[in-house]
Amino acid sequence: MLKTRFLTICASLVLSACATSPTGRTQFIYMPDNQVDQMGLQAFDSMKNKNPVSRNPRFNQFAQCVAYSITREVGGQWEVVVFEDETLNAFALPGNKIGIHTGLINLVDNQDQLAAVIGHEIGHVLSRHSNERLSQETAVSTGLAMVQAVTQPQTALGQTALGLLGIGAEYGIILPYSRIHESEADTIGLDLMARAGFDPRQSIDLWLKMDKASQGQPIEFLSTHPSHGSRIDNLNNHMNKALQLQQQAGQMGKQPRCTK
């Protein structure tokens, strides 16, 4: 009876936590978005307190020009901060926070390449990837405790329970999702930059530059991203649609002029 009730609870949890990403992918999300947003706000404030913020007016104007051109397409109030850090990185957090490292600004050739990165990072926020990841991790810690209290993980019933929660094996919901998230953010980011009037073809040039820069030194930004070849293939597969979106943006007068 207890085991049956446990499985019923697990199944109810999974069903109630089902959500759909902007690309139509089924997600496991059950944490309140406002709670995740608050975590993002706290993390961003901590970063600003611990890491030097760039006072370079040219860098800040360039970064804000590109970022705000894109955020206008999604709405809401966004904060953009340039950090004095020579690593090639940028990020966006729940709560509408965007951080860009000076190293990345130095790397890009133009506004379109920076837009490719910022669009990608905003894609993570729009897809609620942070919430999804936190929900998965919470399911792991909670689910394992529940399984251990009811039965042994190595039993058939234990494996069923773990399967319902999507945990228990390294091929479960945790590890594979990181690259799925990255590919999804690439697709969303490509559309976002195009809708804002940026040239989506520059996204491929940007990732080629990032790949070249990573030779001989690891780049944290690329550590969990798709392989170079699969990323380019994914972008090319969506390029025609993105070019159409850019054309429509131009017809609407959206022509960003952000100077590095």
Lowest mean pLDDT among 45-54, 75-84, 244-253: 45-54
Cα–Cα distance between 167 and 153 in angstroms, integer?
11
β-pairing, 26-28 vs 79-83, is: unpaired
- In Å, how far are 9, 12, 148 from 2, measured between CA atoms? 11, 15, 13
Q: Look at residue 18 in the predicted model and tell me its pLDDT.
A: 73
Q: Per-residue pLDDT tens for 22-69?
A: 878 877 787 788 888 888 888 888 889 888 999 999 999 999 999 999
Cα–Cα distance between 17 and 77 in angstroms, integer?
28
Cα–Cα distance between 128 and 214 in angstroms, integer?
28
- Note whether 72 and 259 are within 8 A (CB): no
H-assigned helices in the chain: 2-16, 33-50, 57-71, 102-107, 111-126, 129-150, 156-165, 175-195, 202-213, 228-237, 239-251
Active site residues: 121
Q: Does a structural domain hold residue 28?
A: no
Q: Does a structural domain hold residue 16?
A: no
Tell me the mean pLDDT in the region 121-129: 90
Whether the pLDDT of residue 147 is over 50: the answer is no
Cα–Cα distance between 204 and 225 in angstroms, integer?
14
For the chain, give the mean pLDDT: 78
28-33: long-range contacts (C-beta < 8 A, 24 or more apart)?
28/132, 28/135, 28/136, 28/139, 28/166, 28/173, 29/128, 29/131, 29/132, 29/135, 30/135, 30/138, 31/131, 31/134, 31/135, 31/138, 33/94, 33/128, 33/131
Q: Does a structural domain hold residue 5?
A: no
- Residue with token string 């030097």: 52
Most confident of 7-11, 94-98, 216-220, 226-230: 94-98
Angle between helices 129-150 and 111-126 (to 10 degrees): 40
Q: Does a structural domain hold residue 209?
A: yes
Number of domains in the chain: 1
Question: Does the pTM exceed 0.85?
Answer: no
* Parent domain of 236: 37-139+170-251
Q: Does a structural domain hold residue 133?
A: yes
Instruction: Enter the tokens of residue 33.
Output: 């978005």
Q: Does a structural domain hold residue 12?
A: no
Q: Does a structural domain hold residue 187?
A: yes
Q: Look at residue 68 in the predicted model and tell me its pLDDT.
A: 98
- DSSP class per residue in 218-255: --GGGTTSPPHHHHHHHHHHTHHHHHHHHHHHHHTT--
Q: Does a structural domain hold residue 30?
A: no
Lowest mean pLDDT among 17-21, 22-26, 91-95: 17-21
Q: Closest Cα to residue 14, out of 133, 139, 127, 130?
A: 139
